[in-house]
A and B are shown apart, each in its own frame.
Chain A
Amino acid sequence: MALNKYETHEYDVIVVGAGGAGLRAAIEASAQDVRTALVCKSLLGKAHTVMAEGGIAAALGNVYPEDNWRVHFRDTMRGGKMLNNWRMAQLHAQEAPARVLELETWGALFDRTKDGRILQRDFGGHRYARLVHVGDRTGLEMIRTLQQHAVHKGIDVFMECTITHLLKDGDRIAGGFGYWRQSGRFVLFKAKAIILATGGIGKAWKITSNSWEYTGDGLTLALDAGAELIDIECQQFHPTGMVWPPSVRGILVTEGVRGDGGTLKNAAGERFMFQYIPEFFRAETAETEAEADQWYTDKKKNRRTPDLLPRDEVARAINAEVKMGRGSPHGGVFLDIASRRDPEYIKRRLPSMYHQFKELADVDITKEPMEVGPTSHYMNGGVRVDADTAATCVSGLFAAGEVAGGLHGANRLGGNSLSDLIVFGRRAGLYAAEYARDFRGALAIDSAQIELIARECLEPFERSGAENPYTIHQDLQECMQGLVGIIRNEGELKKALDEIAVLWRRAQRGNVSGNREYNPAWHLALDLRSLLMVSEVVVRAALERKESRGAHTREDYPRMDPAFGKVNMVVRRVGSEITVSPEALPEMPAELKTLFDGEAK
């Protein structure tokens, strides 16, 4: 067989993924004067960040001067049920305000307070109104600002280009290999350092807010290269996705609806969240509707509504209401903002929600309640990184944004993702550039290995099997939705492992027609490997965490177990073997521990 041809590019730093984290990383690396390129699966500006709605969490203290990084840190740790990497949570809370103000100097225009400063809104689990926002399209503002800033920095961008493999020279990263989606041709990037900023794995579930891109690529690339994953069992189900009509099921309904006054109700019209206040958050949550209603007008004298408990709590509550037969006609619950706010307010604060329900569901949210239910949304865990530098345990490999784990622990608070992207995107760019600059040796690429990879990538065209990659993907989504959802148990998780094993074998027979030019069936056939790999890893880690914590809920172990609260589940891949081992969390220093004195742990 003739050698497969490929083009070669050489850089100091390659950033894989061009959402908020990837763009911010590339901007920072480029500012350090190292040759930097950005490689992304979609067109620039279309990554998942563009869909983020509610806001960026940053303790600017513009609305509540009492707010500061310590309060934000504490909220983040408690939202993550203390499984978070304390150092990441500290850096994140300390640096988010500066990163937000930096976006403003790059042209971002956030909604304003009456005195002309940045306005902040309430969100689940945040003690004070903290989310910097633009109506309900904050992600668009962030990605466009970063994109426009980046294009003037001389960063080379390789759009619609998918990285399928990382290459190493000994123990070090030496490059990445992949293909152009448009032409189907192969491409090699030689690089001293690689930053993964590829997002999550939402497309493994049937009901999801995520786009086709979310196939776990970066998590798989990291595992393949010898890096570790943590907290991967903690996939976040956002409590409010659309449920009707069926074709839009899963599309996100921003938490901003509740932040701006929306409440959850069951079929009987009851505000059921009052029945689901956990001990962990009881002291800071309103116990009666009257108190919650007063909180909207006087936030200092009243405790916050349970509608704004962290996402894991709200998703479980909705799930329970529906299971007990108290759901809405299409299997969700009602989210009502129309009875508290006037139409003008709703349209100004939530324009894209108004538009989305009007156009896609024939529902006018200024007049009637929305029907909502949980949707697979975000990977709380991810690649294990050093808190300060975003470096993985593999020399030259860094990770930032959703693909990285640690910051959010067992459950991310809304708004902490966009801030995560810019805080740790910047750090990854800075330290990857430093690593690349300091590395003086030569890196060799093994061309025989590349030939093997190229052949493997082309196999779906040559197989005689009759398996349709779309069908395999749908069956995986059914499996994960049915067996690895919000509430799990050992029997169903083991069944999921068996089903995934069958899907692995079927994927080996996956066959695609047509040629290599912009062929989505081929792209999906290649993405199936990472979808299956990460799904399997999620299930294996979920089996090992025999407790309920944050987004991971086991009906056979319904309580938090203090012993499991001290460990991350660490996933490694050695050869074809996947291992899961509990390892101790880093110890929080005493002065930070005092922030949690006298609390239920």
Chain B
Amino acid sequence: MTEVTMRIWRENGNGGRFQEYRVPVEEGMVVLDVIHRIQATHANDLAVRWNCKAGKCGSCSAEINGKPRLMCMTRMNLFPPDESITVAPMKAFPLIRDLVTDVSHNYEVAKQIPTFKPGPPGPDGVHRMMQEDIDRVQEFHKCIECFLCQDVCHVLRDHPDKTRVFAGPRFFVRIAALEMHPLDTHSRTELLRAKAGLGYCNITKCCTEVCPEHIHITDNAIIPLKERVVDDYYDPVVRLIKKVRGTK
């Protein structure tokens, strides 16, 4: 068994600081195991969010050595044993305490996205969809709402004032899932263009890099959505055709 030095952000209302803990580590442990060990032995009140401990719920997001990650899926053997490991809360969200941040803004954004609205089923009462038509939407449905993409996004991270005018990568994935759903009948391009602020994204792909579900956020969600907005609002030929045909 080896011992490691963990530097954990602690905040108790009187300002915060990194506190060091020396913790024994066994084979196979992940960062969340070490945090639990610190809770049980050194700091009972260390605040941390977690649920499934298997990369399926997206609760234990944090910044480990500066990189946004899930604590439950970050193995300790990723780091050299003689160097200290820093665990900090997600920076883009207001801090509550220690490693716990206030992510409620995300739930407010979710409310503003027009919900799924299916067309009528086929003549036999069944909604038929081919697997190849839903593959790309199923990729978006893999999202576990860890909000690491929101955390790393330059627009949200460096410009807190933009949270009111920019939905962020998680919600572009959500809107893409709805827009590309074979049964959905709503159009959300106006929302994307205006309120969701899709134009602020300059496709640096940081969100894609941190996604623990490996969703191709930029290539498969954001860029196709940008194209849809352009088609609907800025392409004069398409606009003319639509006008003549009387379609939306």
What is the interface of chain A, defined by CB distance below 8 A to chain B? 42-48, 50-51, 104-107, 109, 111-112, 115-117, 134-135, 137, 139-141, 144, 148-149, 151-152, 157, 159, 182, 211-213, 244-248, 251-252, 352, 355-356, 359-361, 468-471, 474, 512-515, 517-522
Q: Is the CB of B138 within 8 A of A109?
A: yes
User: Chain B 51-69, CB within 8 Å of chain A: the 1/0 string?
Assistant: 1111111110000000000
B residues in contact with A139, CB < 8 Å: 56
A47 to B144 CA separation, bound complex (whole angstroms): 12
A520 to B100 CA separation, bound complex (whole angstroms): 11
Q: Is the CB of A246 within 8 A of B27?
A: yes
| Least Cβ–Cβ distance between A178 and chain B, in angstroms | 18
Query: What residue in chain B is nearest A214 (Cβ atoms)?
Result: B51
Could you name 14 residue pairs across A and B whose Cβ atoms are closer than 8 Å? Answer: A47-B51, A105-B118, A109-B181, A111-B131, A116-B128, A134-B138, A148-B116, A152-B111, A182-B100, A247-B30, A248-B28, A514-B45, A518-B100, A520-B48
Q: Is the CB of A43 within 8 A of B103?
A: yes
Query: What residue in chain B is nearest A249 (Cβ atoms)?
Result: B28
Interface residues of B in 1-48 (CB under 8 A from A): 12-13, 26-30, 33, 39-41, 44-48
Leading 4 A-B pairs by shortest Cβ distance: A245-B28, A514-B45, A116-B128, A107-B116
Query: What residue in chain A is nearest B126 (Cβ atoms)?
Result: A117
Our pick among A43, A144, A247, A248 for the contact of B59 (Cβ within 8 Å) is A43
B residues in contact with A51, CB < 8 Å: 51-52, 54, 56-57
B residues in contact with A43, CB < 8 Å: 49, 59, 103
A518-B97, A518-B100 known; 8 new pairs, CB 8 Å cut-off, are A51-B57, A115-B128, A116-B130, A139-B56, A244-B28, A247-B29, A471-B40, A518-B98
A152 to B111 CA separation, bound complex (whole angstroms): 7
Query: What residue in chain B is nearest A104 (Cβ atoms)?
Result: B127
Our pick among A112, A159, A359, A512 for the contact of B73 (Cβ within 8 Å) is A359
Query: What residue in chain A is nearest B99 (Cβ atoms)?
Result: A518
A residues in contact with B50, CB < 8 Å: 211-212
A44 to B128 CA separation, bound complex (whole angstroms): 30
Query: What residue in chain B is nearest A512 (Cβ atoms)?
Result: B44
Our pick among A44, A109, A148, A247 for the contact of B26 (Cβ within 8 Å) is A247
A107 to B186 CA separation, bound complex (whole angstroms): 12
> Contacts A246-B26, A514-B12 given: A140-B144 contact, CB under 8 Å?
yes
Most buried by B among A115, A248, A469: A248
Query: What residue in chain A is nearest B113 (Cβ atoms)?
Result: A148
A residues in contact with B129, CB < 8 Å: 109, 112, 116
A378 to B43 CA separation, bound complex (whole angstroms): 31
Q: Is the CB of A211 within 8 A of B53?
A: yes
Query: What residue in chain A is nearest B117 (Cβ atoms)?
Result: A107
| Least Cβ–Cβ distance between B30 and chain A, in angstroms | 6
A186 to B83 CA separation, bound complex (whole angstroms): 42
Q: Is the CB of A42 within 8 A of B59?
A: yes
Q: Is the CB of A112 within 8 A of B110?
A: no
Q: Is the CB of B33 within 8 A of A517?
A: no
| Least Cβ–Cβ distance between A357 and chain B, in angstroms | 11
Most buried by A among B49, B54, B100: B54
B residues in contact with A352, CB < 8 Å: 55-56
B residues in contact with A135, CB < 8 Å: 138
B residues in contact with A470, CB < 8 Å: 39-41, 44
User: Chain B 160-178, CB within 8 Å of chain A: the 1/0 string?
Assistant: 0000000000000000001
Our pick among A117, A134, A252, A519 for the contact of B54 (Cβ within 8 Å) is A252
Query: What residue in chain A is nearest B143 (Cβ atoms)?
Result: A144
Interface residues of B in 72-112 (CB under 8 A from A): 73, 75, 96-98, 100, 103-104, 107, 110-111
| Least Cβ–Cβ distance between B134 and chain A, in angstroms | 5
B residues in contact with A519, CB < 8 Å: 45, 47
B residues in contact with A521, CB < 8 Å: 39, 44-45
Q: Is the CB of B46 within 8 A of A520?
A: yes
Our pick among A45, A251, A515 for the contact of B53 (Cβ within 8 Å) is A251
| Least Cβ–Cβ distance between A95 and chain B, in angstroms | 17
A residues in contact with B58, CB < 8 Å: 46
> Contacts A470-B40, A517-B97 given: A112-B130 contact, CB under 8 Å?
yes
Q: Is the CB of A134 within 8 A of B29?
A: no
Q: Is the CB of A520 within 8 A of B47?
A: yes
What is the interface of chain B, defined by CB distance below 8 A to chain A? 12-13, 26-30, 33, 39-41, 44-59, 73, 75, 96-98, 100, 103-104, 107, 110-111, 115-116, 118, 126-131, 134, 137-138, 141-145, 178, 181, 184
A109 to B143 CA separation, bound complex (whole angstroms): 14
| Least Cβ–Cβ distance between A569 and chain B, in angstroms | 31
Our pick among B27, B54, B143 for the contact of A251 (Cβ within 8 Å) is B54
A213 to B49 CA separation, bound complex (whole angstroms): 11
Most buried by A among B29, B44, B55: B44
A residues in contact with B49, CB < 8 Å: 42-43
Q: Is the CB of B56 within 8 A of A137?
A: yes
| Least Cβ–Cβ distance between A467 and chain B, in angstroms | 11
Our pick among B44, B52, B75, B134 for the contact of A359 (Cβ within 8 Å) is B75
A51 to B55 CA separation, bound complex (whole angstroms): 9
Query: What residue in chain B is nearest A141 (Cβ atoms)?
Result: B141
| Least Cβ–Cβ distance between B119 and chain A, in angstroms | 10
Q: Is the CB of B115 within 8 A of A148?
A: yes
| Least Cβ–Cβ distance between A463 and chain B, in angstroms | 13
| Least Cβ–Cβ distance between A520 and chain B, in angstroms | 6
A356 to B144 CA separation, bound complex (whole angstroms): 15
Q: Is the CB of A105 within 8 A of B127?
A: yes
A residues in contact with B55, CB < 8 Å: 352, 355-356, 359
Our pick among B12, B26, B45, B126 for the contact of A522 (Cβ within 8 Å) is B45
Q: Is the CB of B141 within 8 A of A144?
A: yes
A43 to B138 CA separation, bound complex (whole angstroms): 23
Q: Is the CB of A112 within 8 A of B126?
A: no
Q: Is the CB of B47 within 8 A of A518?
A: yes
| Least Cβ–Cβ distance between A199 and chain B, in angstroms | 12
| Least Cβ–Cβ distance between B73 and chain A, in angstroms | 6
> Contacts A213-B51, A247-B30 given: A46-B59 contact, CB under 8 Å?
yes
A115 to B134 CA separation, bound complex (whole angstroms): 13
B residues in contact with A157, CB < 8 Å: 107
Query: What residue in chain B is nearest A244 (Cβ atoms)?
Result: B28
A98 to B104 CA separation, bound complex (whole angstroms): 33
B residues in contact with A512, CB < 8 Å: 44-45
Most buried by A among B49, B53, B56: B56
B residues in contact with A468, CB < 8 Å: 40, 44
Query: What residue in chain A is nearest B25 (Cβ atoms)?
Result: A247
B residues in contact with A213, CB < 8 Å: 51
Q: Is the CB of A50 within 8 A of B29?
A: no
A521 to B40 CA separation, bound complex (whole angstroms): 9
A residues in contact with B127, CB < 8 Å: 104-105
A505 to B12 CA separation, bound complex (whole angstroms): 31
B residues in contact with A48, CB < 8 Å: 51-52
A595 to B143 CA separation, bound complex (whole angstroms): 43
A112 to B12 CA separation, bound complex (whole angstroms): 51
B residues in contact with A137, CB < 8 Å: 56, 142
A residues in contact with B47, CB < 8 Å: 517-520
B residues in contact with A144, CB < 8 Å: 141, 143, 145
A residues in contact with B73, CB < 8 Å: 359-360
> Contacts A144-B141, A182-B96, A248-B28 given: A50-B52 contact, CB under 8 Å?
yes
